Structure 1
Amino acid sequence: MLPALLNQTAPELQPWGTPEDIGAETLEGPIAVAGLLVLGTPETAISAGYYSATRGRYRVVYPFHEHATVLEGRVTITATATGRSVTYGPGDSWVITRGEELIWSIETDIVRKFYFATTGDL
Protein backbone atom coordinates (compact mmCIF):
# COMPACT_ATOMS: atom_id res chain seq x y z
CA MET A 1 0.00 0.00 0.00
CA LEU A 2 1.25 3.49 -0.93
CA PRO A 3 -0.73 6.09 1.05
CA ALA A 4 -0.69 9.74 0.00
CA LEU A 5 -2.67 11.55 2.68
CA LEU A 6 -3.44 15.26 2.77
CA ASN A 7 -2.40 15.53 6.41
CA GLN A 8 0.88 13.60 6.14
CA THR A 9 4.26 15.25 5.74
CA ALA A 10 5.28 14.75 2.12
CA PRO A 11 8.60 13.06 1.48
CA GLU A 12 11.52 15.12 0.24
CA LEU A 13 11.40 15.30 -3.54
CA GLN A 14 14.41 15.13 -5.86
CA PRO A 15 15.08 18.07 -8.22
CA TRP A 16 14.04 17.20 -11.78
CA GLY A 17 15.06 20.56 -13.29
CA THR A 18 12.75 22.68 -15.42
CA PRO A 19 9.62 21.80 -17.40
CA GLU A 20 11.87 21.36 -20.45
CA ASP A 21 13.70 18.57 -18.59
CA ILE A 22 10.42 16.61 -18.43
CA GLY A 23 9.34 17.32 -22.01
CA ALA A 24 7.26 20.48 -21.45
CA GLU A 25 7.60 24.14 -22.48
CA THR A 26 7.80 26.99 -19.96
CA LEU A 27 5.41 29.84 -20.79
CA GLU A 28 5.97 31.92 -17.62
CA GLY A 29 8.64 31.22 -15.07
CA PRO A 30 11.19 30.24 -14.10
CA ILE A 31 9.66 26.99 -12.85
CA ALA A 32 11.41 24.27 -10.87
CA VAL A 33 10.01 20.75 -10.94
CA ALA A 34 10.77 17.90 -8.56
CA GLY A 35 9.55 14.40 -7.92
CA LEU A 36 9.95 11.06 -6.26
CA LEU A 37 9.00 7.78 -7.92
CA VAL A 38 7.59 5.22 -5.49
CA LEU A 39 6.52 2.64 -8.08
CA GLY A 40 8.14 1.83 -11.42
CA THR A 41 10.34 4.09 -13.51
CA PRO A 42 9.74 6.44 -16.44
CA GLU A 43 10.50 3.47 -18.72
CA THR A 44 7.99 1.02 -17.19
CA ALA A 45 4.36 0.73 -18.30
CA ILE A 46 3.14 1.75 -14.83
CA SER A 47 4.59 4.28 -12.41
CA ALA A 48 3.48 6.30 -9.41
CA GLY A 49 4.96 8.99 -7.27
CA TYR A 50 5.04 12.55 -6.08
CA TYR A 51 5.53 15.59 -8.32
CA SER A 52 5.82 19.29 -7.58
CA ALA A 53 6.23 22.49 -9.57
CA THR A 54 6.76 26.08 -8.52
CA ARG A 55 4.64 29.07 -9.57
CA GLY A 56 4.40 29.73 -13.31
CA ARG A 57 2.85 28.38 -16.51
CA TYR A 58 3.90 25.57 -18.81
CA ARG A 59 2.54 23.61 -21.78
CA VAL A 60 2.80 19.83 -21.87
CA VAL A 61 1.62 17.00 -24.10
CA TYR A 62 1.06 14.10 -21.72
CA PRO A 63 3.20 11.04 -22.58
CA PHE A 64 1.03 8.76 -20.40
CA HIS A 65 -2.46 8.39 -18.94
CA GLU A 66 -2.56 9.83 -15.43
CA HIS A 67 -4.73 9.88 -12.35
CA ALA A 68 -3.51 12.45 -9.84
CA THR A 69 -4.61 14.08 -6.60
CA VAL A 70 -3.40 17.50 -5.45
CA LEU A 71 -1.84 17.35 -2.01
CA GLU A 72 -0.78 21.01 -1.67
CA GLY A 73 -1.28 24.26 -3.58
CA ARG A 74 -3.52 25.27 -6.48
CA VAL A 75 -3.22 24.73 -10.23
CA THR A 76 -5.50 25.57 -13.11
CA ILE A 77 -5.21 23.10 -15.98
CA THR A 78 -6.48 24.14 -19.41
CA ALA A 79 -7.05 21.71 -22.28
CA THR A 80 -5.74 23.48 -25.38
CA ALA A 81 -8.05 21.53 -27.71
CA THR A 82 -11.23 22.75 -26.01
CA GLY A 83 -10.16 25.74 -23.91
CA ARG A 84 -11.79 24.15 -20.85
CA SER A 85 -10.07 25.14 -17.58
CA VAL A 86 -10.45 23.56 -14.16
CA THR A 87 -8.81 24.77 -10.94
CA TYR A 88 -7.64 22.08 -8.52
CA GLY A 89 -6.70 22.32 -4.85
CA PRO A 90 -5.86 19.87 -2.06
CA GLY A 91 -7.96 16.71 -2.32
CA ASP A 92 -9.07 17.35 -5.91
CA SER A 93 -8.26 14.73 -8.55
CA TRP A 94 -8.18 14.36 -12.33
CA VAL A 95 -7.71 11.83 -15.11
CA ILE A 96 -5.67 12.92 -18.13
CA THR A 97 -5.37 10.95 -21.35
CA ARG A 98 -2.04 10.28 -23.04
CA GLY A 99 -1.50 12.74 -25.91
CA GLU A 100 -3.64 15.50 -24.39
CA GLU A 101 -2.05 18.98 -24.62
CA LEU A 102 -2.53 21.04 -21.48
CA ILE A 103 -1.46 24.35 -19.98
CA TRP A 104 -0.55 24.19 -16.30
CA SER A 105 -0.99 27.52 -14.45
CA ILE A 106 0.46 27.09 -10.95
CA GLU A 107 -1.20 29.74 -8.76
CA THR A 108 0.62 29.14 -5.49
CA ASP A 109 4.32 29.09 -4.64
CA ILE A 110 4.22 25.32 -5.13
CA VAL A 111 1.77 22.66 -6.22
CA ARG A 112 2.35 19.06 -5.16
CA LYS A 113 0.47 16.00 -6.39
CA PHE A 114 0.51 12.23 -6.02
CA TYR A 115 0.01 10.45 -9.34
CA PHE A 116 -0.44 7.07 -10.96
CA ALA A 117 0.55 6.81 -14.62
CA THR A 118 0.39 4.19 -17.32
CA THR A 119 1.52 4.09 -20.93
CA GLY A 120 -0.73 1.11 -21.69
CA ASP A 121 -3.35 1.21 -24.40
CA LEU A 122 -6.94 1.87 -23.43
Structure 2
Amino acid sequence: MFRLARLHRLLGLALAALLTACGGAQPVDAIEAASTTAALDAEASPTPMIVYSPRGTPVSEAGFVALGAPEALGGKVLEGTPEIFARIDYAKGPVAAGLFKATTGKILIHFPFTEHATILEGEVSLTDEAGNSHSYKAGDSYFIRQGQVIVWEVKGKQVIKSFFNTVEAP
Protein backbone atom coordinates (compact mmCIF):
# COMPACT_ATOMS: atom_id res chain seq x y z
CA MET A 1 0.00 0.00 0.00
CA PHE A 2 2.91 2.35 0.85
CA ARG A 3 4.45 1.82 -2.62
CA LEU A 4 1.14 2.52 -4.31
CA ALA A 5 0.59 5.71 -2.29
CA ARG A 6 4.14 6.85 -3.07
CA LEU A 7 3.67 6.12 -6.78
CA HIS A 8 0.37 8.03 -6.83
CA ARG A 9 2.01 10.94 -5.00
CA LEU A 10 4.91 11.05 -7.45
CA LEU A 11 2.58 10.85 -10.44
CA GLY A 12 0.45 13.66 -8.96
CA LEU A 13 3.48 15.88 -8.44
CA ALA A 14 4.80 15.13 -11.94
CA LEU A 15 1.42 15.96 -13.47
CA ALA A 16 1.24 19.22 -11.50
CA ALA A 17 4.73 20.20 -12.69
CA LEU A 18 3.80 19.38 -16.28
CA LEU A 19 0.61 21.45 -16.08
CA THR A 20 2.52 24.40 -14.61
CA ALA A 21 5.20 24.18 -17.30
CA CYS A 22 2.47 24.23 -19.96
CA GLY A 23 0.74 27.24 -18.38
CA GLY A 24 -2.01 25.20 -16.74
CA ALA A 25 -2.91 24.64 -13.08
CA GLN A 26 -0.56 25.62 -10.30
CA PRO A 27 1.36 22.80 -8.55
CA VAL A 28 -0.36 21.09 -5.66
CA ASP A 29 1.26 21.32 -2.24
CA ALA A 30 3.10 18.05 -1.44
CA ILE A 31 1.17 17.53 1.81
CA GLU A 32 -2.15 18.10 0.05
CA ALA A 33 -1.09 15.68 -2.72
CA ALA A 34 -0.16 13.04 -0.16
CA SER A 35 -3.45 13.38 1.72
CA THR A 36 -5.42 13.28 -1.55
CA THR A 37 -3.53 10.13 -2.53
CA ALA A 38 -4.25 8.56 0.86
CA ALA A 39 -7.95 9.33 0.44
CA LEU A 40 -7.96 7.79 -3.04
CA ASP A 41 -6.14 4.71 -1.76
CA ALA A 42 -8.67 4.28 1.05
CA GLU A 43 -11.49 4.29 -1.50
CA ALA A 44 -9.76 1.88 -3.89
CA SER A 45 -10.99 -1.68 -3.92
CA PRO A 46 -8.61 -4.62 -3.50
CA THR A 47 -6.80 -5.84 -6.59
CA PRO A 48 -8.96 -8.46 -8.30
CA MET A 49 -7.59 -11.92 -8.99
CA ILE A 50 -6.29 -12.59 -12.48
CA VAL A 51 -7.95 -15.22 -14.68
CA TYR A 52 -5.49 -16.12 -17.42
CA SER A 53 -7.61 -18.28 -19.65
CA PRO A 54 -11.35 -18.29 -19.11
CA ARG A 55 -12.79 -21.47 -20.63
CA GLY A 56 -13.32 -21.16 -24.33
CA THR A 57 -11.37 -17.91 -24.78
CA PRO A 58 -7.75 -17.37 -25.80
CA VAL A 59 -5.21 -15.98 -23.35
CA SER A 60 -4.97 -12.20 -23.53
CA GLU A 61 -1.55 -11.26 -24.82
CA ALA A 62 -1.79 -7.71 -23.47
CA GLY A 63 1.29 -6.65 -21.56
CA PHE A 64 3.73 -9.20 -22.99
CA VAL A 65 7.28 -7.85 -23.30
CA ALA A 66 9.98 -9.33 -25.56
CA LEU A 67 12.76 -10.89 -23.48
CA GLY A 68 15.41 -10.81 -26.18
CA ALA A 69 17.46 -13.82 -27.18
CA PRO A 70 16.85 -17.10 -25.31
CA GLU A 71 20.50 -16.90 -24.22
CA ALA A 72 19.44 -14.09 -21.86
CA LEU A 73 17.61 -16.72 -19.77
CA GLY A 74 20.34 -19.35 -19.90
CA GLY A 75 19.20 -20.93 -23.17
CA LYS A 76 20.87 -22.01 -26.39
CA VAL A 77 18.85 -22.23 -29.62
CA LEU A 78 19.13 -25.69 -31.17
CA GLU A 79 16.54 -25.30 -33.97
CA GLY A 80 14.53 -22.49 -35.52
CA THR A 81 14.40 -18.86 -34.48
CA PRO A 82 12.26 -18.92 -31.35
CA GLU A 83 11.18 -15.66 -29.77
CA ILE A 84 10.35 -15.40 -26.07
CA PHE A 85 8.04 -13.00 -24.21
CA ALA A 86 6.77 -12.57 -20.65
CA ARG A 87 4.28 -10.65 -18.59
CA ILE A 88 5.13 -10.37 -14.91
CA ASP A 89 2.03 -10.12 -12.72
CA TYR A 90 3.84 -10.51 -9.39
CA ALA A 91 7.44 -10.01 -8.35
CA LYS A 92 8.86 -9.74 -4.86
CA GLY A 93 12.39 -10.67 -3.93
CA PRO A 94 13.35 -13.94 -5.61
CA VAL A 95 9.75 -14.84 -6.52
CA ALA A 96 7.96 -14.00 -9.80
CA ALA A 97 4.70 -15.09 -11.41
CA GLY A 98 2.95 -14.32 -14.66
CA LEU A 99 2.75 -15.50 -18.24
CA PHE A 100 5.45 -16.68 -20.65
CA LYS A 101 5.18 -17.15 -24.40
CA ALA A 102 7.59 -18.81 -26.84
CA THR A 103 7.31 -19.29 -30.58
CA THR A 104 8.30 -22.38 -32.60
CA GLY A 105 11.79 -23.69 -32.00
CA LYS A 106 14.00 -25.85 -29.84
CA ILE A 107 16.07 -24.46 -26.96
CA LEU A 108 18.49 -26.09 -24.52
CA ILE A 109 18.04 -24.25 -21.23
CA HIS A 110 19.84 -24.37 -17.88
CA PHE A 111 16.92 -23.32 -15.69
CA PRO A 112 17.98 -20.17 -13.79
CA PHE A 113 15.09 -20.62 -11.30
CA THR A 114 12.81 -23.28 -9.82
CA GLU A 115 9.49 -23.20 -11.61
CA HIS A 116 5.96 -24.55 -11.47
CA ALA A 117 4.10 -23.91 -14.72
CA THR A 118 0.81 -24.74 -16.40
CA ILE A 119 0.41 -24.73 -20.16
CA LEU A 120 -2.49 -22.49 -21.22
CA GLU A 121 -2.21 -22.67 -25.03
CA GLY A 122 -0.18 -24.64 -27.53
CA GLU A 123 2.12 -27.59 -26.99
CA VAL A 124 5.67 -27.97 -25.75
CA SER A 125 7.85 -31.03 -25.37
CA LEU A 126 10.34 -31.08 -22.49
CA THR A 127 13.27 -33.50 -22.29
CA ASP A 128 15.54 -33.68 -19.23
CA GLU A 129 19.23 -34.66 -18.97
CA ALA A 130 18.29 -38.31 -18.33
CA GLY A 131 16.37 -38.42 -21.62
CA ASN A 132 12.91 -38.38 -20.00
CA SER A 133 10.55 -36.61 -22.37
CA HIS A 134 6.95 -35.47 -22.10
CA SER A 135 4.65 -33.35 -24.27
CA TYR A 136 2.50 -30.80 -22.43
CA LYS A 137 -0.74 -29.31 -23.75
CA ALA A 138 -3.29 -26.86 -22.32
CA GLY A 139 -4.11 -27.83 -18.74
CA ASP A 140 -0.89 -29.81 -18.13
CA SER A 141 1.54 -28.68 -15.42
CA TYR A 142 5.17 -29.37 -14.63
CA PHE A 143 7.79 -28.61 -11.98
CA ILE A 144 11.47 -27.99 -12.76
CA ARG A 145 14.22 -27.27 -10.24
CA GLN A 146 16.79 -24.49 -10.64
CA GLY A 147 19.90 -25.80 -12.42
CA GLN A 148 18.17 -28.60 -14.33
CA VAL A 149 19.05 -28.79 -18.01
CA ILE A 150 15.98 -29.14 -20.24
CA VAL A 151 15.41 -29.23 -23.98
CA TRP A 152 12.30 -27.08 -24.58
CA GLU A 153 10.66 -27.68 -27.98
CA VAL A 154 7.61 -25.66 -29.00
CA LYS A 155 5.26 -27.55 -31.31
CA GLY A 156 3.05 -25.42 -33.56
CA LYS A 157 2.96 -21.62 -33.73
CA GLN A 158 3.52 -20.85 -30.03
CA VAL A 159 3.04 -21.95 -26.45
CA ILE A 160 1.79 -19.83 -23.55
CA LYS A 161 2.20 -20.88 -19.93
CA SER A 162 1.46 -19.39 -16.56
CA PHE A 163 4.39 -19.65 -14.18
CA PHE A 164 5.44 -19.22 -10.59
CA ASN A 165 9.17 -19.26 -10.06
CA THR A 166 11.79 -18.52 -7.46
CA VAL A 167 15.54 -18.07 -7.59
CA GLU A 168 17.21 -20.13 -4.89
CA ALA A 169 20.35 -18.92 -3.13
CA PRO A 170 23.54 -20.56 -4.44
TM-score of the pair, normalised by structure 2:
0.65
2:61 alignment partner AA: P
Q: Which moved more, 1:11-20 or 1:98-107?
A: 11-20
Could you list the runs of 5+ residues in structure 2 that have no partner in the other structure? Answer: 1-48
Encode CA deviations 1:51-82: one digit per residue, 9 max, x unaligned.
011101000011111000001100000002x1
Give the CA RMSD over aligned residues.
1.6
Residue from 106, 111, 116 that aligns with 2:159:
111
CA distance in 2: counterparts of 1:120 and 1:54, whole angstroms: 28
Which structure ranks higher in relative contact order (CA pairs < 8 Å, sequence separation ≥ 6)? Answer: 1
The structure in which a higher percent of residues are strand is: 1
SS at match of 1:30: coil
Q: Max radius of gyration: which structure?
A: 2
**In structure 1, what residue type is equivalent to 2:79?**
E
1:68 aligns with 117
Q: Measure how far apart 1:6 and its partner are.
A: 5.1
Structure 1: segments with no counterpart, 5+ residues: none
Total equivalences in the alignment: 118
**DSSP 3-state at the match of 1:74:** strand
- Percent of matched pairs sharing the same residue: 31
- List, as ranges, runs of 4+ consecutive aligned residues in structure 1 with deviation greater than 4 Å: none
Letter in 1 for 2:112: P
3-state SS of paired residue (1:21): helix
Q: Which moved more, 1:91-100 or 1:1-10?
A: 1-10
* TM-score of the pair, normalised by structure 1: 0.88
Q: Is the CA contact (8 Å cut-off) linking 1:70 and 1:113 kept in structure 2?
A: yes
Amino acid at match of 1:85: S
